[in-house]
Amino acid sequence: MPKLTRADGEPIRALVVDDEPELADLMRRGLEITGWEVATAHDGFEALKIAREFVPDVLVLDIMMPGMDGVELLQRIRTIYPEVPALFLTAKDAVADKVSGLQSGGDDYVSKPFSMKEVLLRLHRIVQRSGITAPSFGFLTVGDLTLNKDTKAVQRDGADISLTATEFELLKFLMENPRHVVSKARILERVWNYDFGGQSNIVELYISYLRKKVDANREPMLHTVRGSGYVIKPCQ
């Protein structure tokens, strides 16, 4: 199974929540061996606290937990991170739990007892579909938008998009952080190589340039998060 990383090269962050400490620890060790960064929690309330600081890329949630079950926990975490994918852990014959988990927005499930190999396979598929992983051969892909780091070619739904050098660097930085809000200060530092100091208008200007080219006559992928920054994500 190939090693996966985030588009920015950092390890994928998984939050594992199960009220059985031994099982949560088994999951943690299995995922860490693959190079992922893992946080564990043993109930929903602890998981909510950890999620705010840890900023997970994917969730592994036991459905049946005391106090707050996995379905409610997913709903609460998605008020913070609306796009985060989730894998549910269910009892072997709990058909109702499986249906409930998928209807509540879960991306997949595995039944207990399970093999770690099956969990890893399903998690790999989930994060690859989510658009957070690093692409191969110098390509970045978010939804129907692709960027070739080597040739500087950009396409959306197969149509070429012509960008200036600065527009290309800005789009590349956003696509390296899909579904994650990046601040104006961070954009200035990474794209223009200087600290934030009243120059946010240049970021706004270039975002508007990108929107006219990337989102023209299409469903928008570039979004402003007021007071926080900008995010690029696939269309629903």
Which residues on adjacent β-strands are paired with residue 140? 147
Q: With beta carbons less than 8 A apart as the criterion, state whether 60 and 17 touch.
A: yes
**If you count them, how many residues does the chain have?**
236
- CA-CA distance, 233 to 212, in Å (whole number)? 16
- CA-CA distance, 73 to 57, in Å (whole number)? 15
Closest CA to 116 of 37, 23, 228: 23
Quote the distance between the C-alpha of residue 104 and its chain's center. 18
State pTM to two decimals.
Answer: 0.58
Q: Which domains does the chain have, with CATH numbers?
A: 13-130 (3.40.50.2300), 139-232 (1.10.10.10)
Predicted confidence at residue 196, as pLDDT, reads 47
Counting Cα atoms < 13 Å in the Cβ hemisphere of 234 gives 14
**pLDDT by position in tens, the chain (length 236):** 557 788 778 899 999 999 999 999 999 999 999 899 999 999 999 999 999 999 999 999 998 888 899 999 999 999 999 889 999 988 755 556 555 656 667 888 888 888 888 888 889 888 877 777 765 557 788 888 989 887 889 999 888 999 988 899 999 999 999 989 999 888 988 888 765 455 568 899 999 999 999 998 899 999 999 989 999 998 86
Predicted confidence at residue 94, as pLDDT, reads 57
- Look at the block and give the residue holding tokens 């991170």: 81
Predicted confidence at residue 46, as pLDDT, reads 96
Closest CA to 212 of 220, 224, 202: 220
- Look at the block and give the residue holding tokens 């207990």: 112
